Structure 1
Amino acid sequence: MQACPGECECSKKGIDYYGVLSVRKNAHDLEIKKAFRKLAIHYNPERQKDESVQFVFSLIAEAYDVLSDPLKRAIYDQYGEEGLKRGVPGPEELYIEPYVFHGEPLRTYRDFFGTSSPYADLIDVLAKPLPLYELPEGRGIKRKEEPLIKPLLLTLNEVFFGGEKKIKIQRSVLCGDGEGSTTVLREKILTIPIKPGLPSGTEILFPEEGDQGPTKIPADIIFVTEDRPHETFVRDGTNLVMIANVFLREALTGFHVVVNTIDDRILRIPITSVVSPDYEKIVIDEGMPLVDNPKERGDLVIRFKIEFPTYLPNTSKNYIKKAFRVSSTGEKGDAEYIHRLILEDKIRRNIDSDIPMRREPGE
Structure 2
Amino acid sequence: MRLYAVLGVATDADADTIKKAYRKLALVLHPDKNGDPEKFKEVNEAYEVLRDPEKRSSYDRFGDESLKAGFQQQPPMPHGFPPDIFAHFFGQFGGPQSTPDIVHPLRVSLEDLYRGRQFKMCISRNVTCGDCKGSGCKGGQGHPCGICNGQGVHHHMRAVGPGIMQRMQSMCPACKGAGVLNVNKCGRCEGKKTVGDKQNVEVNVVPGTEDGHKFIFQGMADEQPSKATGSVVFVIQTTQHERFTRKGADLVLEKKLSLRQSLSGFRFSQKHVDGTSIVLENSSITRHKEAKVIKGAGMPHKDKPGMRGDLYVIFLVEYPKSLSKEQQAQLEIILPPEPLQPIEASARSVKMAPASVEEHAASCAQS
Q: Scaled by the length of structure 1, what TM-score is found?
A: 0.49
Structure 1 or 2: larger strand share? 2
Q: Scaled by the length of structure 2, what TM-score is found?
A: 0.49
Which one scores higher on RCO, CA 8 angstroms, separation ≥ 6? 2
Structure 1 or 2: larger helix share? 1
